[in-house]
Amino acid sequence: MLSRFLLPVGVALLGANLAVADQESCDLDNKCPEDTPCCSQYGQCGVGAYCLGGCDPRMSFSIESCAPIPVCESRTFSMDSLDGIVDVSEYLGDASKADFVSQGEPIAYNDNVLLTMPPRSVGTVLATTVNIWYGTIKAKLKTSRGAGVVTAFILLSDVKDEIDYEFVGTELETAQTNYYFQGVTDYGNSQNISLSDTFSNWHEYEIRWTPDKITWLVDGQEGRTKKRSETWDDENQRWNYPQTPSRLQISIWPGGADTNKEGTIEWAGGPIDWENHPDMENPGYYYATFGEISIECYDADSAPGTNKGVSYWFDDIAATNDTVVDGDKDTILGSFLATGLDMDKGKSDDDSSDDDDVATIPGGSSSGTGSTSGATSDEDSNSSDSSSSDDSSGGGGGDSSNSGSSGSSDSSSDSSCDTGSFSQDCNGGADSGAAPERVMGASALAGIVALGALLIL
C-alpha cells in the first residue's frame, strides 16, 4: 500500500560533473522554475534525465517541459544478461537503443538478472524505455526476502497512475496487488493473492490492463480483477482508474530503512537487518531474481490505447486518457542539458561547458554499474565459504559468488551515502507537502543530490 512513492531512486552517486546547489522540490502546488523545469518521478527539479521517463508534466514548469515519451512497442526481454539495460546516466531518450534504464546495481547471474540491494543502499530499479498505454505485461521472478525488503513489479505513469504487484520480504506467500489513479492514496485499493513461497519459487506475474478492466494473474490463474466501472468518483466526476501511458518498473527497495516513516517500516515487515540476515552474509546483498519479461501493447485502432506514432505527451494537465496525444514528436534529448522546452540544447557541444550546477540525472549516476557487471562473471564463483551455500538460498543469487558480491558491495559503498551512514546524513530535508508517502522519495532524492550522497526514501 504505501509503496508507491517509495520506489527507490536507486543507488545514486554524485557524478563529478554534477554539483547541485539548491535543488528545488516540486509537487502539484509547487511547479519547477524555468531554469530547471522538469519534475522527476521523485519530486525534484532538474534538466536532462529529469525530463525523461517519470517527468510529471503537472508539477513541471509547463506542460511542454517534459520530453515526449516513447510509444508502446511489444517487446520480450530474456533477462539473461545485462544487454539492453542502460544506466540512467547514459540514456537520452532513444528507446531503440535500450530496453531498460537502471539506477542501482543489476547483476547478471546464471542466465537471470538480479536486482540487488547491498548493505545500506537504496536498492535497484529498472524502468522500461517504452511506455505502455494499456496492454499485457508478464514477468517471471523470484522475490527478495527479509524484513523490510520489498520487491515490486509495477506499471507507473508520469502522472502516477499505477498498477502494482508488491512483495514484502516477511510475507513470502502473499502477492499484494494495488492500483492508483494519479497517485491518490486509497487504502481500500489493496488486495492480496496467496501463492507458494515467492522467494524459493518462480512464478509468472501478469497484469492485463485494458480501458475497462485490470486483471492480475499468477501462473496464468486469475487472482484479482478490477473494473473501471467500479471506480467512478462522483465528487470529481471522473474514473479513478489508471489510464495513462506507463513504464514497467521492477525494483528492490528498503521499505524498512530507518529513514522511512514508521507506517512504511511496519508495512514492509520491520527494520532491515543489514548485518546478520543470511543474504547479507552470502551473497552479501539482498536480491530479487528476474527471468523473462514481456510487454504486449494494446494496439487500439483509436485512442485511448494506440501506439501509432513515435511518442506520447499530454495536451492538458488534467492528465486523463483523453488528454494523451499519440504523435510524432521526437523523444531524444540533445544532451543532459536539454529539456522538453529545448530538446537540442547542448547537442554535440561539450557538455561541461556550462550550467554545471544544474541537476541533470535524478539521483545521480550509479558508479556501481560498470564494476558490477564486471562482478558478474557467472563462472568464477563460489570458491570460498561453502558453509553458507545451503539450498534455502534457492538458486538465484543465493549462491552467488562471494567474489562477485564483494565486488559489488565495494562499488556500492563508494556510491553510498558515505559508507554506512544510510540515515540522517543522507536524508536531506523531508517535506514537500504531499501525502506523507510521497514525500520520502522526493526528500531522499533531495538529500542525495544535495549531499553528494546516495540514498533515498
Ligand X SMILES: *[C@@H]1O[C@H](CO)[C@@H](O)[C@H](O)[C@H]1NC(C)=O
Catalytic positions: 162, 166
Closer to ligand X by CB, 194 or 276: give it: 194
Instruction: Determine the Cα–Cα distance for residues 243 and 8; give it in Å rounded to an integer.
Output: 23
Query: What binding mask, one character per residue, do residues 214-233 give for ligand X by CB under 6 A, x or -?
Result: --------------x-----
**Residue from 41, 249, 260, 321 that binds ligand X (CB under 6 A)?**
321
Query: What binding mask, one character per residue, do residues 294-313 give for ligand X by CB under 6 A, x or -?
Result: ----------x---------
Residue 390 CB, nearest distance to ligand X (Å)?
12
240 binds ligand X (CB under 6 A): no
322 binds ligand X (CB under 6 A): yes
Closer to ligand X by CB, 89 or 189: give it: 189
Instruction: Determine the Cα–Cα distance for residues 426 and 447; give it in Å rounded to an integer.
Output: 5
315 binds ligand X (CB under 6 A): no
Residue nearest to ligand X (CB): 211
Query: What binding mask, one character per residue, do residues 195-214 give for ligand X by CB under 6 A, x or -?
Result: ----------------x---
191 binds ligand X (CB under 6 A): yes
Instruction: Determine the Cα–Cα distance for residues 239 and 229; give it in Å rounded to an integer.
Output: 8
Instruction: Determine the Cα–Cα distance for residues 151 and 158; give it in Å rounded to an integer.
Output: 21
406 binds ligand X (CB under 6 A): no
Contact 148, 254 (CB under 8 A): yes
87 binds ligand X (CB under 6 A): no
Residue 360 CB, nearest distance to ligand X (Å)?
34
75 binds ligand X (CB under 6 A): no
**151's grid cell:** 520487491
**Residue from 284, 399, 415, 422 that binds ligand X (CB under 6 A)?**
399
Query: What binding mask, one character per residue, do residues 372-391 give for ligand X by CB under 6 A, x or -?
Result: ---------xx---------
Could you tell me which stretch among 2-10, 13-21, 186-194, 418-426 binds ligand X (CB under 6 A)?
186-194
Closer to ligand X by CB, 78 or 191: give it: 191
238 binds ligand X (CB under 6 A): yes
The residue ranges that bind ligand X (CB under 6 A) are 171, 174, 176, 190-192, 211, 228, 238-239, 243, 304, 320-322, 381-382, 399
